[in-house]
């Protein structure tokens, strides 16, 4: 049994103003970038797992993928990971699991999959995660965590 983390980022996307994320704009200037993070538990080899990710979860023309487990971007203030609560209907997750059944590698088996959206915030030090968690994450359907630039979970 192996574990693999894949972070997928759009090649043609750039930093955007955080006002697009919030109901009320911040007084300070800040930007953000988004990515998708897949955490996979599998039977088989790491090469088969990476091949599954590249064939099923990545558009090789428009996306870049990192399997390092490290944050894709540097110089961020913090990032928020959010995804569907366990037990909530997650159609994307179900579609990925279904697609694995048609994958032609007999030794690779997807045992579990967690997917989350990641929002990196690039800002001055005095901006906190509270307005982003409040406006981006829905407590009825999402679970989330906030990680600072030192890799510490802060919320």
Q: Average pLDDT, stretch 54-81? A: 93
Residue 121: both structure tokens together: 């915030």
Question: Tell me: the pLDDT tens digits for 5-48?
Answer: 999 999 999 999 999 999 998 888 899 999 999 999 999 889 98
Measured between its terminal Cα atoms, the distance across the chain in Å is 30
Selection from 120, 114, 134 nearest residue 75 by Cα: 120
* pLDDT at site 134: 94
* pLDDT reading at 104 higher than 70: no
| Residue 49 exposure: Cα atoms within 13 Å on the Cβ side | 21
Tell me whether residue 153 is in a domain.
Answer: no
Angle at 12 between CA 8 and CA 15, to 5 degrees: 85
**What is the domain count for the chain?**
1
pLDDT of residue 103: 59
In a domain, 6, yes or no: yes
Give the integer Cα–Cα distance in Å for 155 and 145.
5
Kindly report the pTM of this predicted structure: 0.90
18: domain range? 2-148
Residue 12 has which token pair? Answer: 């043609």
């Amino acid at each position: 049994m192996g574990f693999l983390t894949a972070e997928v980022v759009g090649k043609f996307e750039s930093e955007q103003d955080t006002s697009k994320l919030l109901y009320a704009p911040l007084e300070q200037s800040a930007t953000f970038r988004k990515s998708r993070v897949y955490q996979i538990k599998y039977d088989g080899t790491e090469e088969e797992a990476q091949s599954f990710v590249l064939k099923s979860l990545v558009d090789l023309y428009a996306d870049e993928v990192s399997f390092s487990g490290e944050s894709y971007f540097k110089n961020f203030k913090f990032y928020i990971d959010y995804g569907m609560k366990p037990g909530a209907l997650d159609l994307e997750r179900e579609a990925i699991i279904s697609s694995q059944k048609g994958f032609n590698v007999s030794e690779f088996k997807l045992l579990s999959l967690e997917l989350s959206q990641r929002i990196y915030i690039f800002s001055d030090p005095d901006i906190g995660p509270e307005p982003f968690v409040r406006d981006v994450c829905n407590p009825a359907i999402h679970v989330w965590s906030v990680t600072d630039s030192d890799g510490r979970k802060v919320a």
